[in-house]
Amino acid sequence: LKAGDEVVTTTHDYPRMIHTWRQRQARDGIVLKMVSYPAPPQSMGDLVRRIEQAITPRTKVILVCHMTFTTGQIFPVKEICRLGRERNIEVIIDGAHSFGHFPFKQADLDCDYYGTSLHKWTMAPGGTGFTFIRRSKIANIWPLQPADAKLKDDIRKFEQVGTHSPAQHNAIIEALNFMEALGVERKAARFRYLRERWTTRLARLPRIQILTSSDPAQSCCLGTLSVKDADTAFHSKLADTLESKYGILVAAIGRGTTDYLEFHGIRVTPNFFTSVREVDAFSDAVEKELKA
Element (H, E) at 63: strand 59-65
* Cα–Cα distance, 88 to 164 (Å, whole number): 38
Q: 6-169 with 184-291: one CATH topology?
A: no
Q: Which long-range contacts (CB under 8 A, 24 or more apart) does 33-38 make?
A: 33/6, 33/7, 33/8, 33/9, 33/59, 34/9, 34/10, 34/260, 35/8, 35/9, 35/10, 35/11, 36/10, 36/11, 36/262, 37/10, 37/11, 37/12
Q: Which residues of 91-113 are buried (b: 16+ CB within 10 A; e: fewer)?
A: bbbbbbbbbbbbebebeebebbb
pLDDT in tens, 61-91: 999 999 999 999 999 999 999 999 999 999 9
Q: Where do the domains of the chain lie?
A: 6-169, 184-291
- 59 SS3 class: strand
- 115 SS3 class: strand
**Which pLDDT value is given to residue 219?**
98
Cα-Cα-Cα-Cα torsion 278, 283, 285, 287, nearest 10 degrees, comes to -170
Sheet containing 251-253, strands listed edge to edge, beginning at the edge strand earlier in sequence: 208-210, 223-227, 265-268, 251-253
Contact (CB, 8 A) for 41 and 49: no
pLDDT in tens, 178-190: 999 999 999 999 9
CATH architecture of the domain with range 6-169 = 3-Layer(aba) Sandwich (3.40)
**Which pLDDT value is given to residue 164?**
84
CATH architecture of the domain with range 184-291 = Alpha-Beta Complex (3.90)
Confidence class for position 292, pLDDT limits 50, 70, 90: confident
**Which pLDDT value is given to residue 256?**
66
Q: Which residues of 267-287 are buried (b: 16+ CB within 10 A; e: fewer)?
A: bbbbeeebeeeebeebbebbe
* Cα–Cα distance, 221 to 184 (Å, whole number): 12
